[in-house]
Amino acid sequence: MMGLSPQLQIATKGSAFRIAIKAGKKILFIDSADIIAVEAEGNYVLLQHKSSAYLLRESISTMAEKLSLFGFVRIHRSSLVNAAFVEEIQRLSTGEYVLRVRGGKKYFVTRTYKKNLHLLAESWIGTNGFVQMERGGLINSE
């Protein structure tokens, strides 16, 4: 696709996509459904895959823009999560939140990005498209 770095190519097929990662003399194709999160690492991003991690020379902002179409939500200035892997949201007394993803890893949601929790909730049954967090629980609001 035009506009992407040579190291990152996204091929779209319906709601699924694959990312091509140059690794030495070969190119690996990673399915988006297997990516749990993307984390900033200086001038790179680390793709947290179900079975390993891959480093790409790309900005977190570019990744957030490209991956938002495929169920990834920015929750921190340095991280995105795949909504399909989120299992729990916990409110902290500081006004921040913690997401726990499948496998147990936790990611902090800062106050700046807490509005993006609504994007996560839009596809969840039982939230009526809008979620408020209150003392460790989810409540429907109308």
pLDDT for the residue numbered 10: 43
Give the tens place of pLDDT for each residue, 38-82.
999 999 999 999 888 999 889 999 999 988 888 899 999 999 999
pLDDT for the residue numbered 32: 81
CA-to-CA dists, residue 83 to 61, 75, 112, angstroms: 17, 11, 18
Residue 19 belongs to a domain: no
CATH of the domain at 116: 2.40.50.1020
Residue 14 belongs to a domain: no
Residue 43 belongs to a domain: yes
pTM recorded for the entire structure: 0.75
Do 74 and 80 touch, CB atoms closer than 8 A? yes
